[in-house]
Amino acid sequence: MHVIKHQKYALTEAQKQMYASEKLMNFRWIAKVAATYSPYILSAKDLADQKLFSELAEIGQFTELAYTNAVPVEFLFKNLNILMRSKFPLQGYDALDDSVLVSEFFGKVAHLHGYVVYRPRTKQLVVATSGTSTAIQAIQDLRTLWHRHKSHRGLVHSGFWQLYKGIRSFILEGIRKGFEEHEDIEELVITGHSMGAAVSYILLFDQILVSDDILPANLPIKLVAFGSPRPGDANLARYYQELIDTYRGKYGDAAFSEYLVKAYNDGVPALPPLFLGYRHFTQTPLYYDHMCLYHIPSTESEYTLFHVDAEKSLEYPRGGHNYYNGRDQERLLRRLGWLEKALTKDEMHWQESYLERVQKHSR
């Protein structure tokens, strides 16, 4: 068998500084001890086209922004023209431009954050849910006992279920408000990273795909899940796929699209483990490896890691949970933290105060 192993690369000084400044868990150690490599080797024939890569990377910008707890999303969207400038937190987040915030919410359980936004350029309504960002939320991640779903079709992770219940009413209110305020919406996008991705799956099989009074008939739905853990058992996974088949049967194959993206050195998709009965719900996921996106065959859908027979981009050579879509997510959160401090210090002159902090940290 032809085995392709990931090489070790000499880090540049900028990369050494980037990795030294990491504060968030990247789950590389989980990838080493709990994840397994598929025997299938991804290659050029499995490459996703650049259009799909760009589309998902754009949606990923909204996904990453859901992690901000300190600075209100309303402030960010009202000040996009400033915050997207060079050195400011949203530099390079061009997909956010012209977007209109519909609602922001914090859940009743563990203060889980999310928001609903309208994208005029693409005529999409986007629901973005944060992944784990606090110790209280991490406790819910560890609640791997089963909860029997009300459909009686399977079992769901009890911690994810509780987090979802805490935001369910807020999401539905936001979706309804979005359709009331924007009549030209052509697609609903549901997205999340990590635990937020698992919650996004639950939203679909618990409400969106079973209710007739939430969305206009025939509206396309798109799920974009980055680094998702497994949400439930095999029976619930089958139920989820049956709901998708029913929706497509009513409105056409293009009415529902789903993208579960795993990544090199991200151990989260290996959790909770298979031996506990957990399964992924998407049958044909994607794999992000060094600035390229690959289609994973359905036979390999439960594997977390893949060897790739291709040239590597060396921008983020170590991979990990916070390096999807060619971006360092922690860089965004670090800069948003500086913005929060600047606003606290001097709300009237926050721009100057923020740039002073950028200058201080660049020394």
**Beta partners for 146?**
157
State residue 167's pLDDT score.
98
Model confidence band, residue 363 (pLDDT cutoffs 50, 70, 90): low
Structure confidence by residue, pLDDT tens digits, 49-106? 999 999 999 999 999 999 998 899 999 999 999 999 999 999 999 999 999 999 999 9
State residue 70's pLDDT score.
83
State residue 63's pLDDT score.
98
Residue 47 per-residue DSSP state: B
Please tell me the chain's helix, strand, coil percentages from 3-state DSSP, rounded to the nearest 5.
40, 20, 40
Model confidence band, residue 6 (pLDDT cutoffs 50, 70, 90): low
Structure confidence by residue, pLDDT tens digits, 271-319? 999 999 999 999 999 999 999 999 999 999 999 999 999 887 788 999 9
User: For residue 292, what is the enclosing H or E element?
Assistant: strand 292-295
Q: Centre a 10 Å sphere on the Cβ of residue 148 and count the other Cβ atoms it contains.
A: 14
Residue, of 73 and 14, whose pLDDT is higher: 73
State residue 1's pLDDT score.
43
State residue 313's pLDDT score.
73
Q: How far is CA 112 from the centre of its chain?
A: 14
Length of the chain: 363
pTM: 0.96
Model confidence band, residue 48 (pLDDT cutoffs 50, 70, 90): very high
State residue 322's pLDDT score.
97
Give the residue among 8, 38, 29 at the shortest CA–CA distance from 308.
Answer: 38
Please say if the pLDDT value at position 3 is more than 80.
Answer: no
State residue 7's pLDDT score.
61
- 102-113 as b/e, with b when 16 or more CB fall inside 10 Å? bbbbebebbbbb
Structure confidence by residue, pLDDT tens digits, 151-182? 999 999 999 999 999 999 999 999 999 999 99
Per-chain mean pLDDT for the chain: 95
**Beta partners for 35?**
none
State residue 57's pLDDT score.
98
State residue 5's pLDDT score.
55
Share of the chain above pLDDT 70, in %: 98
State residue 158's pLDDT score.
98
Please say if the pLDDT value at position 8 is more than 90.
Answer: no
Interstrand relation of 221-226 and 146-148 (parallel, antiparallel or unpaired): unpaired
Interstrand relation of 124-129 and 113-119 (parallel, antiparallel or unpaired): antiparallel
Structure confidence by residue, pLDDT tens digits, 184-241? 999 999 999 999 999 999 999 999 999 999 999 999 999 999 999 999 999 999 999 9
CA dist., res. 271 & res. 261, Å (int): 15
- Contact status, residue 122 vs residue 95, Cβ threshold 8 Å: no
Please say if the pLDDT value at position 135 is more than 60.
Answer: yes
Query: Mean of the pLDDT values across residues 246-258?
Result: 97
**Side-chain half-sphere CA neighbours of 178 within 13 A:** 31
Tokens found for residue 350:
């926050």
Share of the chain above pLDDT 90, in %: 93
Please say if the pLDDT value at position 269 is more than 90.
Answer: yes
CA dist., res. 140 & res. 137, Å (int): 5
